[in-house]
Chain A
């Protein structure tokens, strides 16, 4: 049996018993929306485009910075010099890797007003984001429109992943009722991140994606996978019984899409004439300013009292001053761009 030239490049992948020619053809006919093309996202995009996924939409609001190059595998120094948006820089590399894949870069902040459009037509949504606000939005879209998605998170030397098949597995809100609030746990900027944990988690997500796209849902991981590369520990958390959380899961049991409806999440307001943006988490949060101070000490100069925290830092060559309040609200001076402010908030305060 000969393989047509168009399939030759996938010959090794097709020899995997779970894929075969039929699976490969399904992969090539499939469409994926990738939310975020940073650390996890570049590994995911690289793997999916090489695997021959038919259409990949990559969405990211950020620009390539020198500190990205340690782990964000699609970028190089010329992308930093060119001050390129991550989505555009990634698209150039991805098209060089596989010109038969249709790659659509979108430079945008993912929020409740645009996410349904960005996921329209997708067979699968992939999580390459760095925050839970977008993940809960993805989860709402997944359940509302019956599209599978794969969660992945990595920080320091630990990471976790789970696969959400609407109607079959627990959703993200079944397993994580709430995400850690602002300042509760470190972000990649404050706690650091080792490149291999990113590759491990994103590769695990990519394997799940290929199973789903090849039509092999029976092979999908149904547990919460956790790994720490420094402690040499792995854990498979049995989550199946949490599905719908005895009918109380607001998202998949009650079909109340609170994140899409704007009941949670952050709100940004550009403070006119002040070159500053106010970022306000909805739904109330209680921040330990002393704890946040400790986390930020390595990233700039920081002072705190019981009323507010002041933090000054240089990010991608620009100076910023954060004023953070105990309710999680922050005024970020040094930009009037609300997308940039969201990025800075997610990077340094976290949510």
Chain B
């Protein structure tokens, strides 16, 4: 069972219109690398000079990676990685 990345609406165009993308990797970083390999247009949306862009929050099973091990957080099969940019409208 692979790892699922949930794609938020503002990034779906760059992800081929997909709501979810299956990836492989042992850490969050490897999973995002695989995601970008499959959908290169996501690269500049997620990373800036190799650093995760600060307005994109990354969750592993609904826990923020900033209090796990950041991009080094280990993931196992079946885990859901979610990308959550803040919603601004109102």
Contacts and interface: CB of A to CB of B under 8 A. Distances in A.
14 contacts: A36-B90, A130-B90, A132-B86, A152-B90, A160-B87, A179-B55, A185-B85, A186-B10, A193-B89, A235-B59, A236-B62, A237-B64, A239-B64, A242-B64
Contacts of A127: 90
A39 B53 CA distance: 29
A237 B35 CA distance: 22
Contact of B54 (A154, A178, A198, A288): A178
Contact of B88 (A180, A231, A235, A245): A180
Interface residues on A, range: 35 or more
Nearest to A133: B88
B37 interface: no
Interface string A6-38: 000000000000000000000000000000101
B84 A226 contact: yes
Interface in A23-71: 36, 38-41
A179 B64 CA distance: 16
Contact of A38 (B10, B87, B90): B90
B15 to A, nearest CB: 14
B59 A153 contact: no
State the main secondary structure of chain A at its contact with B.
mixed
Given A175-B57, A180-B55, A231-B19, A154 B64 contact: no
A208 B89 CA distance: 19
Given A41-B90, A238-B63, 12 more contacts: A155-B87, A158-B8, A178-B53, A178-B54, A178-B55, A179-B86, A185-B85, A226-B87, A237-B59, A239-B64, A245-B66, A286-B48
A237 B83 CA distance: 12
Nearest to B66: A242
B9 A156 contact: yes
Interface string A187-200: 11001010000100
A176 interface: yes
B62 to A, nearest CB: 5
A228 B82 CA distance: 14
Contacts of B10: 180, 184-186, 191
Nearest to A230: B9
A241 B67 contact: yes
Contacts of B53: 178
A178 B52 CA distance: 12
